[in-house]
Amino acid sequence: MSARGIAAIADETPDRLALVAGDRRVTFGQLEDDTNRWANAFAAAGVGHGDRVGVMLGNRPEVFACWFGAGRVGAMVVPVSYRFTPAEVGYLLEDSGAAAFVYDDPDVAEGAPAGLDGLKLSVAVDDPSVLASPTDRLHEEFVGTVTAFMYYTSGTTGRPKGIARSLPVPSGELAPQPFTEYWGFRRDDVHLLCGPAYHTAPGNYAVMHLNEGATVVVMERFTAEECLALIERERVTTSHMVPANFVRILEADWSAYDRSSVRKILHAAAPCPVAVKRRIMDVFPPGAIWEYFGMSEGFGTTISPDEWLAKPGSVGRPFPGLSIRIVGEDGSVLGPGEVGTIYVSSFPTHRFRYHNAEEKTAEAWQDEYFTVGDMGYLDEDGYLFIADRRVDLVLSGGVNIYPAEIEQALAEHPDVVDSAVFGLPDERMGQLVFALVEARPSAALTEEALLEFLADRLARYKLPRRVEFVDELPREPSGKVLKRRLRDEWLAREA
């Protein structure tokens, strides 16, 4: 049987191609050397087992060397969006208790770690001191340990919360991975990374492929034309996409490219319109488009192309070893066809808690099942259908955007009385962020001025795409804005 895991593959076939990024070609031997450089740099700074390493990098080969290097010393990786502002980056580093921080944008990173007592290392990814670190392999007991991540996911309170799991378990040999085996990823695969590596799914699926000895083709930024060109040129076999990718591919002259090498494309992160999915199935070879339902906290369901054609709109049945139940407002388990909150079981080794948020952890779990607030129902055959997402969640281009965070930023403006932020349908992105703003009567506030104010407080992708002003927002007797009513009214108007 072929070697598995970066170290073992590098020992067996060091010249095997691991990463493709533009004109760069990185072999497994080179990736292992770079991994060891990072491991030595982290160890020299005192970073060790159970420590957290914040990594804010764009899509580039160094992402994986840094991640694997952190794993090699038993540390956990905290992926940080390169679209975050310094204030947002600083929050994640402080809340996670990061011991190290690696970045490739000094303008964003410069002020973020200030005042963080626990930060032992803050370094640019191309820092000469790291490049000059020795390539000696450290900590053999972690050579086969699966890289552990602590992802951050926002909640309705607007503050991101870390998804904490058990510490990395020392292992000298990489054990078979259930998701890799289920999806049938192979050593001869060529995987296209076309989403941000810091996102849970794109990054994890790239890591899975590398651990099998497959090649990962890294896209710095997604465009449909470049995606299709890479599929043709590199003979891509697998990828992970979101519906927004599908929409852009369908808008391109896709028939001009050879897509025959593709055997499996997974998609998730946002509901895929039935019409879009039917059309994308014609773009790629038969049987290639597989869907699943999951979240950063855990996995849920999968559905094959044939199953989906029989049950269009479904996200499938539970992944082997897991189960789904639909729970009503009174806590009872609902029957087929009844809409309620989706609860998913968890593998014992994957049980999570929210870091520094025990109350949120308790709210998420019911026995051995957890929820992130998604709504749906099971049909008579046990297939899950998503009826709605979390009430306030906006899904734009496969990215979660939480209105409460935007509303908090709007509230900081001296001329804003209150606001209601929610998502409106958009053909390309799924949803766009819309803000209804109640301004002070004497204020001469404009959309441009408000967006400029928000730009210093929020990542660009969180900014409202439309802003409208109202004299007064409707409220409950308690004073809380009637957002659900507003959203329903605007949805009806948009329709």
The predicted pLDDT at position 390 comes to: 58
* Residue 283 shares a structural domain with residue 416: no
pLDDT tier at 388 (50, 70, 90 boundaries)?
Answer: low
The predicted pLDDT at position 147 comes to: 94
* Residue 408 shares a structural domain with residue 280: no
Q: Is residue 416 part of a domain?
A: yes
* Residue 101 shares a structural domain with residue 218: yes
What is the C-alpha separation between 160 and 326, in angstroms, rounded?
26
Question: How many structural domains are present in the chain?
Answer: 2
Q: Is residue 364 part of a domain?
A: no
Evaluate if residue 156 carries a pLDDT over 60.
Answer: no
Rounded to whole angstroms, the maximal C-alpha distance in the chain is 74
pTM (2 decimals)?
0.84
Rounded mean pLDDT of 185-202?
A: 95
Average pLDDT of the chain? Answer: 90
* Residue 172 shares a structural domain with residue 293: yes
Q: Is residue 386 part of a domain?
A: no
pLDDT one-digit tens code per residue, 298-352 = 999 999 999 999 999 999 999 999 999 999 989 999 999 998 899 999 988 889 9
Q: Is residue 330 part of a domain?
A: no
* CATH code for position 462: 3.30.300.30
* Residue 191 shares a structural domain with residue 79: yes
What is the C-alpha separation between 200 and 244, in angstroms, rounded?
17
Evaluate if residue 112 carries a pLDDT over 70.
Answer: no
* Residue 193 shares a structural domain with residue 300: yes
Q: Is residue 155 part of a domain?
A: yes
Task: Provide the sign of the torsion angle of the four alpha carbons 58, 64, 65, 66, taken in this order.
Answer: positive
Evaluate if residue 154 carries a pLDDT over 70.
Answer: no
Specify the range with the lowest mean pLDDT, choosing from 289-298, 355-364, 382-391: 382-391
Say what percent of the chain tops pLDDT 90.
68
The predicted pLDDT at position 114 comes to: 64
Query: Cα-flanking dihedrals φ and ψ of residue 435, to 5°?
Result: -125, 125
Q: Is residue 461 part of a domain?
A: yes
Q: Is residue 448 part of a domain?
A: yes
Full residue range of the structural domain in which residue 471 is found: 394-494
Q: Output the six-digit token pair for 235.
A: 């003979």
* Residue 287 shares a structural domain with residue 401: no
Specify the range with the lowest mean pLDDT, choosing from 51-60, 109-118, 332-341, 450-459: 109-118
Evaluate if residue 104 carries a pLDDT over 70.
Answer: yes
Q: Is residue 288 part of a domain?
A: yes
* Residue 192 shares a structural domain with residue 306: yes
In contact, 351 and 378? CB cutoff 8 Å: no
The predicted pLDDT at position 157 comes to: 46
Q: For residue 391, how far is the Cα from the chain centroid?
A: 20
In contact, 7 and 32? CB cutoff 8 Å: yes
- Determine how β-strand 340-345 pairs with β-strand 324-327: antiparallel
The predicted pLDDT at position 376 comes to: 87
Specify the range with the lowest mean pLDDT, choosing from 45-59, 80-94, 408-422: 408-422
Rounded mean pLDDT of 213-234?
A: 97
* Residue 429 shares a structural domain with residue 294: no
Evaluate if residue 389 carries a pLDDT over 70.
Answer: no
* Residue 301 shares a structural domain with residue 415: no
pLDDT one-digit tens code per residue, 236-292 = 999 999 887 888 898 899 999 999 999 999 999 877 778 789 999 999 999 999 999
In DSSP terms, 437 is beta-bridged to 419, 469
The predicted pLDDT at position 478 comes to: 40
* Residue 287 shares a structural domain with residue 414: no
* Residue 33 shares a structural domain with residue 156: yes
